[in-house]
Structure 1
Amino acid sequence: MQPTGDLRGDAVHVGGDARQRFYDSRGYGRPLEGNAIALSRVEAAHLLFRGDLAGVTLDANGGGSGAGDTVGFERFFVDSAAAVERFAVRYLVYADLRDRGFYLSPARDPWPGGDADVADAVDLVAYERGATPDTGTVHYAIRVVGEREAVPASGLAGQTLAVVDEESDITYFGVDRPAIDGATDYEPPADVRGVLLSDRVVVWDAPDGLYERGFYGQPLTGRAAAVEGVLQLSLLEAASLAADDRLGLDEVVETGDGAAESESDTTAAIVARGRAVEGDRFDRRLATYRDLRDRDAVPKTGFKFGADFRTYLDVETVESLPHSEHLVRVVEPGHAFAPRELSLDVRLAGGVRKQLLFALTDGTGPIEWLSVGRLTP
């Protein structure tokens, strides 16, 4: 004979031997006095679905039709979906992780249960396999979203996104703070001279090593070239070198819009040109570029991959260049992920065997780094 529960507010109370039956042995709910437990709605629904609860008596004080009735899974599920925001998608994820062998606790009001120290936006915490809520370490802090919901990027590190699509399939993404530890040992010379053109800087007599060892720029070459040593720098590369007092300008070629016309120093002239051709996005990308260089990593354009940068952590020479390790997208601190676009970015990065990174920056303050990848719990 299976027990029944009583819905009281947002929790289902179960008496009898419920503590031993559900909490101690399988990690459902939270203990009350004696052997009683309180279940969240999602936990109660899962036990009803499995046949481990005979029914739930709806809150007699809750009002509405059916108050005081004892109902099964179907009616309880519909009642809960009406009473609790996004109940259906949370239930789907809860049930999926239970089927994968995890003990879980709800972590967001009004789902009582679990006292893990997680962000307010986290819906569920899954414990290490074989561990219970009172003894276990949290393995996944899970945030449940539908495929059409926007997800703020800031503060997402350490969470697992469980995205429920329109057909109720679930895709899991792990979000972490990446370790970007480069080992490129190259110091550019201090006497690089160039000419600022429309959207790049040309160095006519590039010093040895600037490209081959530092991987700055792109050589201007050809089969029948009679001119050697010409290097084209992107505005980001040029601005970074100028800010480090490694690059000076011999000439500024005006573009007709007055960009850089009034700038007297090299860095300001290049940054002004960058803003003229790219807007505020240039400052965010420049801050990210310089942060990566400060970490002894080499950022290069990620245009072919639909990203801002691809990175090389350890460049000895261009001739022995390793595969790039990361794809980097630069976004504003207030950026919100669209799950469909995030899935596309992650799929692309995985397809070319790179880790997907996001740099959250306004171009002036510290950068918040995130790595995002598919995972299978």
Structure 2
Amino acid sequence: MQGRLEDGVVHLPGDARQRFHDSRGYGRPTGGDDLEVAPVEAAHLLSRDDIDGVDGMGLRELLARTGTTLDFVVYKDLRDRGFYLSPAREGWPGVADAAGADFLVYPRGKGPWDGEVEHRVRVVGERESIPVSSLGEVVLAIVDEDGDLTYFDTEGDSPEGTAAEDLPADLDAELLSDRALVWDGVDRLYQRGFFGQRLYGRNADSGPLQLSLLEAAYLARADALAIDEADVVSRGRDVEGDRFDRRLAVYAALREAKTVPKSGFKFGSDFRVYTEFESVDDLSHSEFLVRVVAPDHTFVPRDLSLDVRLAGGVRKRMVFALTDDNGEIDWLSVSRLTP
């Protein structure tokens, strides 16, 4: 069987509908027994010797002419894993929303006629830029320079916890160049709220408490410290510029969501986040790593992979806080996926 390439689709004649769509989920029926398939679907059929060619072209020529090599790598991998999938094209069977995706993948055992989508997949090469605003409710299929595939699931997922907040009032604090010190009345802040760190070391049972500027600003806003929030924020801007305001907005949002954010420096992130907390003595492992980025941030796949792999390696989930200048936050969770 020879296909005909026209207007971005490959027309297959004869009994193509019965052979390829009705039984295996390829393409879009056009009436009768004829079938339209996307170039990547035609390439897959060529690779299986199910069709003889497209306008006399074999697989090599078709991939070169249509520029579908990366799509083919992903399409074949998902087919090999037992999935039926459709190109995300308006008007194709099973495609209700094509925006932001290259393929719609159906649950195993189902096809485009069942009305159920398992994954919305977007194909990217490892050197492409990925606007963070384009992510969420989509699976990234990243093809590296060796042709290997990595899948990342991206979804909106704001952290929520169970930590109860019980703050003291008007504790005397000393504002330093990049932190604050609280000398008296610190047990309640540290033991029951996990604010700061003991100046004498994490295993110390007493002594003054050192607070990050983020913690100090948050506590000053809540009148837990007898210092002016504006002074702390000004000091924070001196240290890290306008980024301090975005990080403070995220820190406050995490506290308001009843989680406990702490420095994520040792993990290469802004925060590590505990969702369950009662006291420092019963401290469990943190569940999330959070990185604060601007809404117009653009990812390089290599950097995204580094963040997600590191988080997964320490059994945490990577979350990005998309934070604008007004402190509005959209949350994006990214994790490795094995389809």
Tell me if TM exceeds 0.5: yes
Equivalent-residue separation in structure 2 for 1:218 and 1:363 (angstroms): 29
**Which residue in the other structure is 1:90 paired with?**
71
TM-score normalized by structure 1?
0.86
Equivalent-residue separation in structure 1 for 2:134 and 2:155 (angstroms): 10
**Which residue in the other structure is 1:26 paired with?**
24
Q: CA deviation at 1:74?
A: 2.1
Contact 1:218 1:233 in 2 (8 A): yes
**Which residue in the other structure is 1:342 paired with?**
304
**Which residue in the other structure is 2:317 paired with?**
355
**Which residue in the other structure is 1:233 paired with?**
211
Contact 1:107 1:124 in 2 (8 A): yes
**Which residue in the other structure is 1:63 paired with?**
none
**Which residue in the other structure is 1:143 paired with?**
122
Equivalent-residue separation in structure 2 for 1:74 and 1:52 (angstroms): 15
TM-score normalized by structure 2?
0.95
Q: Which amino acid aligns with 1:338?
A: V
Identity %: 55
Q: Which amino acid aligns with 2:178?
A: D
Q: Deviations over 1:99-125 (max 9, x none)?
A: 11111111158xx73453446231111
**Which residue in the other structure is 2:66 paired with?**
80
Alignment of 1:78-157 (within 5 A): 78-81=64-67, 87-108=68-89, 113-114=92-93, 116-118=95-97, 120-157=99-136
Paired residues in the alignment total: 338
Residues 243, 114 of structure 1: alpha-carbon distance in 2 compared, 3 angstrom cutoff:
farther
After TM superposition, the structure 1 stretch with the greater mean CA deviation from structure 2, 294-303 or 113-122, is: 113-122
Contact 1:176 1:370 in 2 (8 A): yes
Residues 119, 278 of structure 1: alpha-carbon distance in 2 compared, 3 angstrom cutoff:
farther
Q: Deviations over 1:237-281 (max 9, x none)?
A: 0101112222222xxxxxxxxxxxxxxxx1111000000011111
Q: Deviations over 1:318-349 (max 9, x none)?
A: 01100111111111111111111111111111
After TM superposition, the structure 1 stretch with the greater mean CA deviation from structure 2, 228-237 or 96-105, is: 228-237
2:12 is the alignment partner of 1:14: yes
Equivalent-residue separation in structure 2 for 1:217 and 1:116 (angstroms): 51
Equivalent-residue separation in structure 1 for 2:150 and 2:255 (angstroms): 34
Q: Deviations over 1:162-218 (max 9, x none)?
A: 000001111101111224221111221122221111111111113431100100011
Q: Deviations over 1:19-54 (max 9, x none)?
A: 111111000000101111101111111101111111
Equivalent-residue separation in structure 1 for 2:181 and 2:139 (angstroms): 45
1:102 counterpart SS class: coil
Unaligned runs of 5+ in 2: none
Q: CA deviation at 1:222?
A: 6.2
Equivalent-residue separation in structure 1 for 2:196 and 2:75 (angstroms): 50
Alignment equivalent of 2:294, drawn from 323, 328, 332: 332
Larger gyration radius, structure 1 or structure 2: 1
Contact 1:39 1:113 in 2 (8 A): no
Equivalent-residue separation in structure 2 for 1:205 and 1:113 (angstroms): 68
Unaligned runs of 5+ in 1: 58-69, 82-86, 250-265
Alignment equivalent of 2:271, drawn from 290, 297, 309: 309
2:206 is the alignment partner of 1:206: no
1:369 counterpart SS class: strand
Equivalent-residue separation in structure 2 for 1:222 and 1:32 (angstroms): 73
Contact 1:107 1:114 in 2 (8 A): no
CA RMSD of aligned residues (A): 1.8
Q: Which runs of 4+ in 1 moved over 3 A?
A: 112-115
